[in-house]
Structure 1
Amino acid sequence: MNPSMLCDDLPAADDPMDDWLFLSHKSVEFLSDTTSLQETGDKGKLKSKLVSVWNSVKYGWSLKQKTKFSKSSPLILLGKSYELKDEANKERFRRSFASLLWLTYRRGFPQLAGSSLTTDSGWGCVLRTGQMLLARGLLTHLMPPGWMWSVWYRAVKDDLDLPHHADCTDCKSNMRCRYQSLGSLYDRPLEAMHRKVVSWFADHPKAPFGIHRLVELGASSGKKAGDWYGPSIVAHILQKAVAASVDLPNLVVYVAQDCTIYLQDVRGLCERPPPHSWKSVIILVPVRLGGQDLNPSYISCVKKLLELQCCIGIIGGRPKHSLFFVGFQDDQLLYLDPHYCQLTVNVTKENFPLESFHCKYPRKMPFSRMDPSCTIGFYASGQQELELLCTNVNEVVSTSAEGYPMFIFSEGESWKDEEHSSSPVHRVTYIQRSSDLKRVSTSSSMDEFVLL
């Protein structure tokens, strides 16, 4: 990959900020494609394409997107810290961020059941961020620790003594040579699994975690294609999708109820009869961190959660404008944005293109702009990891705002009528502050949460 497509050179040492210029070749392809309307005879496709263009403009996508990062503060990305003043750390961050799966609006896929829609542009952003959260959990579950997408970066470890060709005078800095010498030996099995995971999120009715399947599962919660899905409902949809998948027998998803993680329920899902080991688990916690705006006292708690190795991200954003939060620097959240409409990729083709599933340009936004309605994701690979997760996460949330935890752990189990219910139970719990109880409207997010 051409590094110039990732970022500019670092500025002078006295410049406190680092300008990174990110430009996707797909952006150019997208704009040129919208002007070559070969389907002018098909009004449906024309309308879909115009809607896609409008949403890309509406949500601020442009050909040239700059993001500034400070060299004096560490950058946190899903449990790892990067000092950008160090070239090796800066490169590791680039590689790690580019390896995250980026799932966005798509257009031109088969019609969604019960509708004429062939795009989710304008309404499917929460489903897409939910896909990204699940995808992060799946890659953590299936790939070795520290895995990175090797099509762009073939060097697995910086200190690896790479083999080289006798006729290559600059082999160790030549990406093509690294690809030839190392890629075919080490990366083929991992790349095959990476490609398989991407195919599970394809925009096709047969994909277990694709938009068609998620919309189908959302019907039990009263949702249909074209509706806006809240982060709590999406968490339950993901739980059902993983439970129904035949490809992941060793993984379960648990969704917290009323901001409570019932450990007896979690262990019940994970336990397997001997001699089998425990199942891995993705824990999703829907929360509402205040009223119409994020409670400022929760910001430090959100930061500490994103610093944990077990955290796989947070979905939220503004109402009807969901984002996938993966890290932060100072008072700015780092996120992946689904509001960019791309053409559907046919994943049944051998060696289908993967570039549109990976984002080269990170974005930031102030914590103050984060909507309080969100779902937080965690992953534990086994029993010991689950106990460590509970200890570390509980230590963080037990010290959150004004003495009230963001969510809690309980050694008990949930009510059986809720546990076996076919659809999620949404109740609003009130915690008394001072001497009065105040109801906070959740209509803007079209979801109900426990209000803290």
Structure 2
Amino acid sequence: MNMDAMFDICYLSADGNTIEPDDIPKTKENVWVLGRKYSAIQDLERIRRDISSIIWCTYRKGFVPIGDEGLTSDKGWGCMLRCGQMVLGMALVRIHLSADWVWTPETRDPTYLKIVQRFEERKQAPYSIHQVALMGASEGKDVGQWFGPNTVAQVLRKLAVYDKWSSLVIHVALDNTVVKEDILQQCIVKHDQGDSSSASDNVLISDWMPLLLIVPLRLGLSEINPVYIDGLKMCFQCPQSIGVIGGKPNQALYLIGCVGDEVIYLDPHTTQRSGLVENKMTDEQKEMDCTYHCKYASRIPMLAMDPSVAVCFLCRTRSDFDQLCNTFEQNLMKESQPLFEICEKRPSHWGPSTNDIDLQYTSLFNDLEDVDRQFDDSDEEFEIL
């Protein structure tokens, strides 16, 4: 079987007939995916090519046991963790490859393989389900317990500190507020250049650490308030957008774009076997790599989304960050009900900016995430074994 056939085999119906996907509507409205504008009519194949280049993380089974209960699958509880992996995977692709990078079943780029390996079901992989689930315990979530968008953001923030190769800063905005001062302190790295005795040689050189900015939001109590829809669309349209961690009630989804009043998403609710891509030399490794890519996205109405979301942006450079802040101030802040606030300095009532204080603060969000979550039942119909 050739590699394209391996990739396409997932899109056959039970009786073996090819399914015509309903991923992108035939419309004259613009399609937005990860900050890029497309025509649904003229760019359909390009949209699908770019969507299939996203690293798709799904439930897996048969991995090394996790936690006291020795769980060997994350079916029914890991969908939000998988959405977090997808956001981080997208960030790493943009940082270490490019925004225009394209995956094919033949891809064996060593940098790409290094990124995928970071999400494999191995305990030592920096962002494996094992690492994410176990780090979740420090956020008060037992292994096998469902995460909310904020919890997965905080867990990724902690894990990224230990992965020097990834070379990014994850900043999770607190209390619906993006504080420029805090972000600049994290992202600007000063190097003392020049060891000679001449003072003029000791020049401070500033580098920018790429920023993954995650803003957890609650856009309503039990359902989304329509007043936030336009702001949400603006987030998908920012060039720095790398999607939204969200979903529909009781099902986490990676929301990658929008068309009209619908969101486009990748769904983690498919259970695939665990395995290693490694250097992609064997047929089994090539086949495993194809399981990290989904050819067709899906859609739901924005108003059908769960109101608990986290909007995500990647700023590879200081210029990207300044442009993003300008977009927020010129567009988002003009909304009658802005999604969040942006300010220059940390609000005085927050106290000093230390990681310990920030981590304590996250427990305030957890109360919002434990409402009406009976996960396993609602996932059952989405399983493909």
Q: TM-score, normalization: structure 1?
A: 0.71
The alpha carbon displacement at 1:441 in A equals: 9.6
Equivalent residue for 1:267, pick from 177, 184, 187: 184
Displaced runs of 4+ in structure 1, greater than 6 A? 439-442
Three-state SS of the structure 2 residue aligned to 1:375 is: strand
Whichever structure has more strand as a proportion of its residues is: 2
Equivalent residue for 2:87, pick from 125, 133, 157: 133
- The CA deviation string for residues 67-93 of structure 1, in whole angstroms up to 9 with x for no partner, is 15123222111111111322xx22221
* 1:327 counterpart = 2:276: no
What does residue range 193-212 of structure 1 map to in structure 2 within 5 Å? 193-212=111-130
* Residue identity matched to 1:269: Q
Q: C-alpha separation between the residues in 2 aligned to 1:109 and 1:28?
A: 26
* Residue identity matched to 1:318: K
Q: C-alpha separation between the residues in 2 aligned to 1:318 and 1:84?
A: 24
Structure 2 CA distance for partners of 1:440 and 1:283, relative to 1, 3 Å? closer
Asked if the contact 1:101/1:358 (under 8 Å) is kept, the reply is yes
* 1:294 counterpart = 2:249: no
Structure 2 unpaired stretches of 5+: 191-203, 375-385
* 1:214 counterpart = 2:132: yes
The alpha carbon displacement at 1:254 in A equals: 0.3
- The CA deviation string for residues 281-317 of structure 1, in whole angstroms up to 9 with x for no partner, is 1000000011111011211111111011111100111
Q: C-alpha separation between the residues in 2 aligned to 1:213 and 1:441?
A: 21
Tell me which of the two structures has the higher relative contact order, counting C-alpha pairs closer than 8 angstroms and 6 or more residues apart.
Answer: 2
Q: C-alpha separation between the residues in 2 aligned to 1:308 and 1:288?
A: 20
Three-state SS of the structure 2 residue aligned to 1:357 is: coil
Partner of 2:244: 314
Three-state SS of the structure 2 residue aligned to 1:443 is: coil
Max radius of gyration: which structure?
1
Asked if the contact 1:124/1:226 (under 8 Å) is kept, the reply is yes
* Residue identity matched to 1:444: D
The alpha carbon displacement at 1:121 in A equals: 0.2
Equivalent residue for 1:145, pick from 86, 99, 108: 99
Partner of 1:9: none
* Residue identity matched to 2:184: R
* Residue identity matched to 1:415: G
What does residue range 50-449 of structure 1 map to in structure 2 within 5 Å? 64=19, 66-67=21-22, 69-86=25-42, 89-151=43-105, 191-248=109-166, 250-273=167-190, 274-348=204-278, 350-351=280-281, 352-353=285-286, 354-400=289-335, 403-413=336-346, 414-416=350-352, 419-421=355-357, 422-427=359-364, 443-444=371-372
Matched length = 349
Three-state SS of the structure 2 residue aligned to 1:144 is: coil
Asked if the contact 1:215/1:225 (under 8 Å) is kept, the reply is yes
Asked if the contact 1:221/1:423 (under 8 Å) is kept, the reply is no
Identical columns (%): 30
Q: C-alpha separation between the residues in 1 aligned to 2:78 and 2:99?
A: 31
The alpha carbon displacement at 1:118 in A equals: 0.2
The alpha carbon displacement at 1:374 in A equals: 0.5
Three-state SS of the structure 1 residue aligned to 2:232 is: helix
Structure 2 CA distance for partners of 1:65 and 1:231, relative to 1, 3 Å? farther
Q: C-alpha separation between the residues in 1 aligned to 2:127 and 2:294?
A: 20
Q: C-alpha separation between the residues in 2 aligned to 1:225 and 1:28?
A: 34
Asked if the contact 2:113/2:278 (under 8 Å) is kept, the reply is no
Structure 2 CA distance for partners of 1:230 and 1:132, relative to 1, 3 Å? same
Q: C-alpha separation between the residues in 1 aligned to 2:125 and 2:39?
A: 39
Structure 2 CA distance for partners of 1:397 and 1:241, relative to 1, 3 Å? same
Asked if the contact 1:258/1:427 (under 8 Å) is kept, the reply is no
Structure 1 unpaired stretches of 5+: 7-22, 33-61, 153-186, 429-438, 447-452
Q: C-alpha separation between the residues in 1 aligned to 2:53 and 2:279?
A: 22
Q: TM-score, normalization: structure 2?
A: 0.83
What's the RMSD between the two structures over aligned residues?
3.0
Q: C-alpha separation between the residues in 1 aligned to 2:274 and 2:138?
A: 26
Q: C-alpha separation between the residues in 2 aligned to 1:116 and 1:388?
A: 46
Asked if the contact 1:24/1:63 (under 8 Å) is kept, the reply is no
* Residue identity matched to 1:342: Q
Three-state SS of the structure 1 residue aligned to 2:64 is: coil
Asked if the contact 1:77/1:306 (under 8 Å) is kept, the reply is yes
Asked if the contact 2:264/2:299 (under 8 Å) is kept, the reply is yes
